[in-house]
Amino acid sequence: MSTTFQIDTATSRATPTPAPMKRLTVPKIRARKTDGATGEPLVMLTAYTARQAQLLDAHCDLLLVGDSLGQVIYGLPSTIPVTMEMMANHAAAVVRGSYHAVVVVDMPFGSYERSPEQAFDSAARLLKESGAAAVKLEGGEAMADTVAFLSQRGIPVMGHVGLTPQAVNVLGGYAARGRSDAEAEKIVGDAKALDAAGAFAIVIEGVVESIAVAATKAVSAPTIGIGASAQCDGQVLVTEDMLGMFERVPRFVKKYEDIAALIERTAASYAEDVRNRSFPGEDQTYQPKS
């Protein structure tokens, strides 16, 4: 059953709903890179809820409903257990909460690797149930045929090379990639294969900076770095990492705030008010009409 419906602005805490604006499109994102260069870098952050999308939307070109929600929202040890239902439901919430950014949804592990036909069924379901504009899948040259199959059938695809979290069991961890000549050559080759297959953008994650720069120069599609290089055509971070919600984050994360400390202080203030019976006060209770 489709999860695409509008927020009831009369009852939802998400009110007031921002005035709708013209949403960016996949072709406009792709066109930001011309003649091998991107004038204004693309801005992408992760979003998993409608309210989060509302707060980020005006500042981002793309919102990624990442399978990182498995760890960030559900407390899972990796992205491997994430399901199609999780991705579809969270993506639908992000679509409802946004008006400007292109919403991209991750295809979870096991939903696309078997064959291009399986990938099409999974991608079609995600887009139909969420209203998102595009899907993202991990893997380089091995997934090129699948990317081409989807692109030729009306499903925009964002690629993902370098450190691919869904392959953590094969990679043996989350260490940076591209430190050997062979691995560096493979990462650039993977990006070129996805570009030739029709990917409209390519995430480059956790690679030696020189390799990210080489891959960016080697492809016509915009590259979006995460733990890569400022010379990529755009950047993405997990929003909760950037906000300082977690103590432990990858070394490539810049914490722009310390929201975790703010939440702890606020919860402590609330707890103190409850225990000394100063909350709720007169302003928060219903009194008899005089």
Structure tokens at 180: 């050997």
Residue 248 has a pLDDT of 87
Q: Is residue 79 part of a domain?
A: yes
Question: Which residues are marked as active site?
Answer: 205
Q: Closest by alpha carbon to 206, among 138, 271, 123?
A: 138
The answer to the question of whether 185 is labelled as a binding residue is no
Q: Is residue 128 part of a domain?
A: yes
**Which CATH number covers residue 206?**
3.20.20.60
Residue 22 has a pLDDT of 85
Q: What is the largest CA-CA distance in the chain?
A: 81
The answer to the question of whether 233 is labelled as a binding residue is no
Q: Is residue 167 part of a domain?
A: yes
| Residue carrying structure tokens 């995600």 | 126
Residue 1 has a pLDDT of 40
In the chain, which residues have pLDDT < 70? 1-20, 167-178
Q: Is residue 40 part of a domain?
A: yes
The answer to the question of whether 272 is labelled as a binding residue is no
The answer to the question of whether 181 is labelled as a binding residue is no
Q: Is residue 20 part of a domain?
A: no
Between 181-197 and 209-218, two packed helices, what is the crossing angle to 10 degrees? Answer: 30
Predicted confidence (pLDDT) per residue in 226-260, tens digit:
999 999 999 999 999 999 999 888 889 999 999 99
Q: Is residue 75 part of a domain?
A: yes
| Domain total in the chain | 1
Q: Is residue 123 part of a domain?
A: yes
Residues 235 and 46: beta-carbon distance below 8 Å: no
Residue 241 has a pLDDT of 96
Owning domain of residue 218: 34-257
The answer to the question of whether 257 is labelled as a binding residue is no
Q: Is residue 115 part of a domain?
A: yes
Residue 7 has a pLDDT of 58
Residues 155 and 146: beta-carbon distance below 8 Å: no
